[in-house]
């Protein structure tokens, strides 16, 4: 196997750091305390070296999975970089996940190390140790925890582990089209090739200032935003939690912002969002969920800037983007053109190419496309066409200029505020609750979240009908809060077609205005 330090994604990102390592790399915008909390590039270099040395001192098998469920912090970003640096595999987990969800990921990925927030150490460490995890460390928002205590004793010199580009860098859990969560295996090459393409395509520069206000357990915040800034040696203004007013307050110093559509909707609701506030900005990017044309137009009117919408997914990182230049080439309601090096085709149900503007299934290929799902070769095979294209599960069309429009999804997926919710998973938990015979979960328009989760529940015959509020309360604590239905209806039966399949389209129509 051909291994070299340069194929290690960390080494490539570090090569983008500016020559003067004492410059500010990251400034925390919402850290407690009066003094601004700043990290220099040297802090990133040394901190990641110490954490990488700590991982190395544990004598883990090569390519061990390092599972991380912590609050967002600069140290958590350093931990991600340290895992790459040490040559292990990063496994980020949404911090809303509860015990049943974590148990599944641990059983499936078999991480050697779990890093959790100190406040959850009791139950998480018990769960992790019971399932064979060798090491559990804590990492807290206030820069405390056993991970940093141990890393502080390590050397701040570390040579990045030599890597072949095809070796695994990260596993991101996603449900893909159906069923239980699957771990999308992303290699050093997948991540680096995509970061390099985006660096050129979006014109990243060393004097950019990125407002980073997204979580760092998904593609958008962890890869697209962080890699962009690191590779360009650009400064980040770092928000541990998105707050529309606070973000607008920092826009005058910034040049780049990335968000899911909900972030744009919330910022538009703030009177402080003006042309003056955005005067230095060069690029607003939206993705992870459809951006409504109204939001695109309102943003243009209010700020004078045209949002650049792009499209991607966990299995592929970024696939398409509206052009950077000229801004007039950014077409609202579309996700732009396939990125350089990315093949994107629209095919019909039989797998035959669709004509221009004809709606079909979106399939992709390229150096950014993942190697497959972790330990699920059959699932992997199902999601690729016979000629090697990945089936995204998205439905769309391409116009004569090559612009792609996503019109829907063939996968049963709800995207709420940029987070994916799989109806079958929520239905499974609902159906286990007392008094519930069966249930159906759908997504309907929501002014803030894009789609809001709604459950329709059928009571068990003969018993006391279940109370909607009690069911919602019972779900909280069992599954991540963002998956819990915002509204729940109790109906005597679910509409079914002649085949006995639940007609979710009818339920969606019925609930269409629930959040209006
Ligand atoms: C939080 N809550 C949500 C929610 N986020 N409910 C539904 N959908 C969501 N997205 C619920 C919590 O469970 C809680 O419920 C209540 O809202 C308050 O929680 P919070 O954490 O204070 O919420 P808030 O800070 O307002 O979070 C909203 C948000 C956040 C939009 C800022 O969801 C967010 O950061 N989303 C971005 C997701 C993202 O990065 N996606 C990228 C995926 S990558 P209760 O009942 O307990 O009060 C991808 C690929 C690609 O898709 O192309 O990029
Ligand atoms: P995930 O697997 O969590 O990364 O989610 C990926 C999915 O998000 C894609 O398959 C799309 O359905 C959706 N998505 C991402 N970007 C966009 C976008 N700009 N417009 C519409 N849907 C999007």
CATH number at residue 22: 3.40.50.980
DSSP annotation of 223 reads I
Give the model's pLDDT for residue 379. Answer: 93
Task: Indicate if the pLDDT at residue 177 is higher than 90.
Answer: no
Sign of CA dihedral 485, 487, 489, 494: negative
Cβ atoms of 477 and 460 within 8 Å: the answer is no
Look at residues 215, 241, 267 and tell me which one is the last residue of a structural domain: 241
Within a domain: 401: no
Per DSSP, helices labelled H in 131-187 are 146-151
Give distance in angstroms: CA of 314 to centre of ligand 2. Answer: 9
User: Which ligand is nearest to the Cα of residue 405, counting in written order?
Assistant: 2
CA distance 308 to 106: 37
- Mean pLDDT of all residues in 43-69: 98
Look at residues 193, 215, 241 and tell me which one is the last residue of a structural domain: 241
Give distance in angstroms: CA of 289 to centre of ligand 2. Answer: 5
Atom 54 in ligand 1: residue holding the nearest Cα? 288
CA distance 153 to 222: 27
Within a domain: 277: no
pTM for this predicted structure: 0.96
Give distance in angstroms: CA of 418 to centre of ligand 1. Answer: 7
pLDDT-based confidence at residue 176 (cuts at 50, 70, 90): low
Give the model's pLDDT for residue 123. Answer: 97
Cβ atoms of 285 and 256 within 8 Å: the answer is yes
Task: Indicate if the pLDDT at residue 178 is higher than 80.
Answer: no
Q: Which of 220, 259, 287 to mutate to test the pocket of ligand 2 (most atoms within 8 A of CB)?
A: 287
Task: Indicate if the pLDDT at residue 56 is higher than 90.
Answer: yes
- For residue 456, the tally of other CB atoms under 10 A from its CB is 25
CA distance 171 to 256: 27
CA distance 489 to 471: 11
Task: Indicate if the pLDDT at residue 118 is higher than 80.
Answer: yes
Element spanning 229, H or E? helix 226-232
**Count of helices and strands (H, E) across the chain:** 15, 25
Task: Indicate if the pLDDT at residue 465 is higher than 90.
Answer: no
pLDDT-based confidence at residue 2 (cuts at 50, 70, 90): low
Atom 31 in ligand 1: residue holding the nearest Cα? 417
Within a domain: 291: no
* Whole-number percent of the chain with pLDDT over 90: 94
Within a domain: 36: yes
Q: Which of 481, 486, 488, 515 to mutate to test the pocket of ligand 1 (most atoms within 8 A of CB)?
A: 481
DSSP annotation of 191 reads H
Ligand 2 close to Cβ of residue 56 (< 6 A): no
Residue in 306, 342, 298 with CA at minimum distance from that of residue 327: 306
Strand order, beta sheet including 372-373: 135-138, 113-116, 65-69, 89-92, 168-174, 182-187, 372-373
Rounded (5°) CA angle 78-80-82: 65
- Mean pLDDT of all residues in 352-372: 97
CA distance 274 to 252: 10
Bridge partners of 105, per DSSP, are none
- Mean pLDDT of all residues in 88-109: 96
Cβ atoms of 10 and 85 within 8 Å: the answer is yes
Within a domain: 397: no
Ligand 2 close to Cβ of residue 394 (< 6 A): yes
Give the model's pLDDT for residue 68. Answer: 98
Task: Indicate if the pLDDT at residue 3 is higher than 90.
Answer: no
User: Which ligand is nearest to the Cα of residue 259, counting in written order?
Assistant: 1
Q: Which of 94, 411, 417, 486 to mutate to test the pocket of ligand 1 (most atoms within 8 A of CB)?
A: 417
Strands 343-347 and 360-365: antiparallel
Cβ atoms of 60 and 25 within 8 Å: the answer is no
- Mean pLDDT of all residues in 306-334: 97
CA distance 406 to 413: 14
> Comparing 102 with 409, which gets the higher pLDDT?
102
pLDDT in tens, 419-459: 999 999 999 999 999 999 999 999 999 999 999 999 999 99
Atom 8 in ligand 2: residue holding the nearest Cα? 288
Look at residues 181, 209, 241 and tell me which one is the last residue of a structural domain: 241
Q: Which of 178, 288, 342, 383 to mutate to test the pocket of ligand 2 (most atoms within 8 A of CB)?
A: 288
For residue 470, the domain's CATH number is 3.30.300.30
Cβ atoms of 133 and 112 within 8 Å: the answer is yes
Q: What is the dihedral of CA 295, 297, 299, 305, to 10 degrees?
A: 140
Our count of domains for the chain comes to: 2
* Whole-number percent of the chain with pLDDT over 70: 98
CA gyration radius, the chain: 23
Task: Indicate if the pLDDT at residue 397 is higher than 90.
Answer: yes
pLDDT in tens, 238-295: 999 999 999 999 999 999 999 999 999 999 999 999 999 999 999 999 999 999 999 9
Bridge partners of 479, per DSSP, are 476
Give distance in angstroms: CA of 218 to centre of ligand 2. Answer: 12
Within a domain: 16: yes
pLDDT-based confidence at residue 179 (cuts at 50, 70, 90): low
Residue in 164, 9, 166 with CA at minimum distance from that of residue 83: 9
The domain in which residue 486 lies consists of: 414-511
Atom 6 in ligand 1: residue holding the nearest Cα? 482
Ligand 1 site, CB within 6 A? 214-215, 218-221, 241-242, 260, 262, 287-288, 312-313, 416-419, 449, 481-482
Give the model's pLDDT for residue 458. Answer: 96
- Mean pLDDT of all residues in 8-23: 98
Atom 52 in ligand 1: residue holding the nearest Cα? 288
Cβ atoms of 210 and 227 within 8 Å: the answer is no
């Amino acid at each position: 196997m051909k291994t070299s330090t340069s194929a290690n994604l960390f080494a490539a990102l570090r090569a983008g750091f500016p020559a003067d390592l004492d410059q500010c790399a990251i400034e925390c915008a919402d850290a407690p305390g009066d003094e601004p909390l700043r990290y220099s590039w040297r802090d990133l270099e040394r901190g990641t070296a110490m954490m990488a040395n700590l991982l190395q001192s544990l004598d883990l098998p090569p390519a061990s999975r390092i599972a991380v469920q912590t609050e967002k912090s600069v140290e958590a970003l350093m931990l991600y970089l340290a895992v790459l640096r040490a040559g292990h595999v990063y496994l980020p987990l949404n911090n809303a996940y509860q015990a049943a969800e974590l148990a599944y990921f641990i059983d499936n990925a078999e991480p050697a190390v779990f890093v959790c927030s100190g406040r959850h150490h009791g139950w998480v460490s018990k769960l992790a140790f019971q399932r064979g995890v060798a090491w559990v460390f804590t990492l807290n928002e206030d820069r405390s925890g056993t991970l940093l205590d141990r890393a502080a004793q390590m050397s701040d010199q570390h040579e990045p582990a030599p890597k072949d580009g095809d070796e695994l860098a990260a596993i991101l859990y996603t449900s893909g089209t159906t069923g239980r969560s699957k771990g999308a295996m992303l290699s050093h090459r997948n991540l680096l090739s995509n970061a390099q393409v985006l660096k050129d395509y979006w014109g990243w520069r060393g004097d950019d200032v990125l407002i980073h206000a997204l979580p760092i357990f998904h593609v958008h915040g962890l890869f697209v935003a962080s890699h962009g800034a690191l590779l360009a040696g650009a400064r980040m203004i770092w928000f541990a939690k998105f707050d529309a007013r606070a973000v607008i307050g920092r826009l005058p110093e910034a040049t780049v912002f990335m968000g899911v559509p909900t972030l744009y909707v919330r910022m538009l609701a703030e009177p402080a969002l003006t042309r003056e506030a955005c005067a230095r900005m060069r690029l607003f990017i939206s993705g992870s969920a459809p951006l409504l044309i109204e939001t695109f137009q309102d943003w243009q009117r209010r700020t004078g800037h045209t949002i650049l919408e792009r499209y991607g997914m966990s299995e592929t990182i970024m696939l398409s983007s509206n052009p950077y230049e000229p801004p007039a080439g950014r077409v609202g309601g579309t996700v732009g053109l396939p990125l350089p090096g990315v093949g994107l085709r629209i095919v019909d149900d039989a797998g035959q190419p669709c004509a221009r503007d004809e709606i079909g299934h979106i399939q992709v290929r390229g150096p950014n496309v993942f190697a497959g799902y972790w330990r699920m070769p059959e699932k992997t095979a199902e999601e690729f066409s016979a000629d090697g294209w990945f089936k995204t599960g998205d439905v769309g069309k391409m116009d004569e200029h090559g612009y792609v429009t996503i019109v829907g999804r063939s996968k049963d997926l709800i995207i709420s505020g940029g987070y994916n919710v799989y109806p079958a998973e929520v239905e499974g938990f609902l159906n286990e609750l007392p008094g519930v015979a069966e249930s159906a979960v759908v997504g309907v328009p929501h002014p803030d979240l894009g789609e809001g989760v709604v459950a329709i529940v059928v009571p068990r015959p003969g018993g006391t009908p279940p109370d909607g509020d009690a069911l919602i309360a019972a779900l909280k604590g069992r599954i991540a809060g963002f998956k819990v239905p915002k509204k729940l209806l109790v109906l005597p039966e679910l509409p079914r077609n002649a085949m006995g399949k639940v007609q979710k389209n009818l339920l969606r129509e019925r609930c269409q205005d629930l959040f209006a």
